[in-house]
A and B are shown apart, each in its own frame.
Chain A
């Protein structure tokens, strides 16, 4: 794929795709002033891709991620997920997509302060109707995957910024979604912790999950398979990495992530 895709380029390829956006525009109105956060973004992300989104502050990355996560609607343009238009979904369908198909990691972790780490990770499973005991089991596995097995009962206020970030990541993957969207998941971490997190995302991606993450860090972006660059609400570059960096990881991580799949599968069968 080349840089600077034209307005129509998103609908060229024919293989099965996960995410497809076409000429997305997002206008914020503050008083009488209009701010265009996205000014016509077209992009296609296939199943199993690992995309890093880069770009200067204010270029529209978070706005774009929110739309991908079905948390916000574009002012113009279309977004289809597995060939279904998101704009046509009703409240229940949207909730289902957010709950089952997408795992979202927020730039500001967004943990509930009065719940401990395990309870925070369990939250999406509640809305999925998973029984309490299975919920706890899956939450523990997810927290173990992000290296927080010994912090299950800590409240967010009793965790470091990096640890809170990991809880948020655990929460996004506990449902074993098809897509993980992460808005600066390593923004508050040192290089070593950042690499640990990238190992998790690579393991997730290797298990078949599509990963899209926003980062300001060029080194972190090297762990992805593809880098998309934003500027002033437009995509200005889109490159597939020929040689990406692989983060070292323990085999147990893959086992844990697989365990989430199995656990979820069991659960789906049972439910």
Chain B
């Protein structure tokens, strides 16, 4: 038979984008009653190098036999070596993550998603507004800006939680209050400890303390529970922040993270590839989202 010069198998050299690599849990401890902090190190150093991420990106995390799900990266690429996550227990996979001990391994692949537009944000004033688990991805941005402090203008960090006990990374953020190169304002809906030294009330109350905002020159990153968005966006629009400079993160079901499984599609956009960070201007164009009100559709 004449040999067919078909089937050029170039697969050997190509990566399988779905293949999780093994990472070891270096530290795991509770942040709140249902959220755990995970610090991970790659078993194989090459896998660490491949994880070249930017704030706002996410990974797909697997536990053997329990499945796979997307999680935001909470650490900053400016502190390489370890990756950090904060994960809430909600179901099968997250439950099994909480059952793992330090030194056990999980599978990670990524990083995926667009992340925050760091290049555009450089030179601008930065306002970060976090609520609930939204801090998972915003902590990455906050630490990144702090580590590259001279590349950015004024920095404001607003964080709201229900109670002091539910404020993720409370100690870490309390320490930030001592720095004079950012304005860090923390608030709880209700102080049930009697020991809370910071503000009480919803996160939007903090806007009163901001002083003048150079709106045209400000990028805002918001991530929090659905109710928070509605009121925060109102305030930001009231401050005249341009809609394409208001950044928000959308959550959708994802099975692949690489634009193939279809689950996270919103019209022609894929949350995993075109997002998860969208501008408020993008969101205004997504009929499926507008139909239901912005608040139902953003990350919790």
Do they bind each other? no
Chain A positions within 8 Å of B, measured between CB atoms, are none
